[in-house]
Amino acid sequence: MAHSFTQEYFQIPSVTRAYTTACVLTTAAVQLEVITPFQLYFNPDLIIRRYQIWRLITNFLFFGSLGFSFLFNIIFLYRYCRMLEEGSFRGRTADFVYMFLFGGVLMTLFGLFANLFFLGQAFTIMLVYVWSRRNPYIRMNFFGLLNFQAPFLPWVLMGFSLLLGNSIVVDLLGIGVGHIYYFLEDVFPNQPGGRKLLMTPELLRTVFDTQEEDPSYFPLPEEQAGEFWQDQGGDGGEPNDQGQ
């Protein structure tokens, strides 16, 4: 059983595996009181004046204490991060890492003005947004109550956050940054007179795009978009791919 778990774990694509593991370990460390959220949150003053540079990264790794909110966020993070890496970024790990860096930098800059302490949820929404815009024909069902096309998924999640009494500023930030990336990467280069503005540095390509693909590697089926979705026939618990 341990061998099976280890094998399954290492079949997760590298970026998804690293980020999800870092989030889980960070939350576990807080839960075990090894560290506190006060050592992790985004604080520009401490970053600049006390050189606590790690806060630029750790604020993306903490999703709150163990509970429904944490499980909800970590499941969506894992699912959509993995499907992006195995889908439109298949064989393009450097480009995927560059999207992480681009999104992280933009969110950090916006976080300076929005007074946000943790940006992990916004980052998850960004991943969901990019995936949803690149898979516009997948039909989804929210808890058996609401049917919609994939591009509406980030807005449905924002509405769900609102119903739970949470602030939607984080969701709007994720949607905004996700749209900026999607526009610059997928829309603008295909417009008359447009060109590709987001160029992945050669250093990232040298570091991340040199590994050969594992022949025993099995991608996560794109139909398994999340634990909380059902197809239109109501028989599977996953979205129904109508046009891919």
Q: What is the CATH number of the domain that holds 42?
A: 1.20.1540.10
User: In total, how many domains does the chain have?
Assistant: 1
Residue 71 within a domain: yes
What's the confidence (pLDDT) of residue 204?
92
Residue type, 229: W
- The candidate with the shortest Cα–Cα distance to 99, out of 131, 56, 53, 136, is 131
Contact, 120 vs 62, CB < 8 A?
yes
Q: Write down the pLDDT at residue 167.
A: 81
Is 129 inside any structural domain? Answer: yes
CA distance 36 to 115: 19
Q: Residue 240 domain-assigned? A: no
Q: What is the reported pLDDT for 239?
A: 43
| Structure-block tokens of residue 105 | 């930098």
Residue 188 lies in a domain: yes
C-alpha span between 115 and 98 (Å, rounded):
25
pLDDT tens string, the chain, 244 residues long: the values are: 566 878 888 889 999 999 999 999 999 999 999 999 999 999 999 999 999 999 999 999 998 888 788 888 899 999 999 999 999 999 999 999 999 999 999 999 998 888 889 999 999 999 999 999 999 999 988 777 788 899 999 999 898 888 877 788 999 999 999 999 999 999 999 888 888 899 999 999 998 876 555 555 555 555 444 434 443 333 333 444 443 3
Distance CA 123, CA 129 (A): 10
In angstroms, rounded to a whole number, what is the distance separating the alpha carbons of residues 9 and 24?
14
Which domain range does residue 89 map to? 12-210
* Residue 164 confidence (pLDDT): 77
**pTM listed for this prediction:** 0.83
pLDDT of residue 226: 41
Cα 108 to chain centroid, rounded: 15
Determine the pLDDT at residue 218.
56
- Would residue 19 be called left, alpha or beta, if left means φ above 0 and alpha means ψ between -120 and 50 degrees? alpha
Tokens 């990264």 belong to residue = 57
Kindly state whether residue 5 falls inside one of the protein's structural domains. Answer: no
CB 118 within 8 A of CB 42: yes
What confidence score (pLDDT) does residue 146 get?
Answer: 80
Contact present, 130 and 215 (Cβ < 8 Å): no
Q: What is the DSSP string of the chain?
A: -HHHHHHHHHHS-HHHHHHHHHHHHHHHHHHTTSS-GGGTS--HHHHHHS--TTHHHHTTT---SSSHHHHHHHHHHHHHHHHHHHTTTTT-HHHHHHHHHHHHHHHHHHHHHHT-S--HHHHHHHHHHHHHHH-TTEEEEETTTEEEEGGGHHHHHHHHHHHTT--SHHHHHHHHHHHHHHIIIIIGGGSTT--------HHHHHHHS-PPPPTT--PPPTT---TTB--TTSSSSS-EES--
Give a yes or no: residue 175 inside a domain.
yes
Let me know if residue 166 belongs to a domain.
yes
Asked whether the CA dihedral 240, 83, 224, 214 is positive or negative, the reply is positive
7 is a domain residue:
no
pLDDT at 213: 56
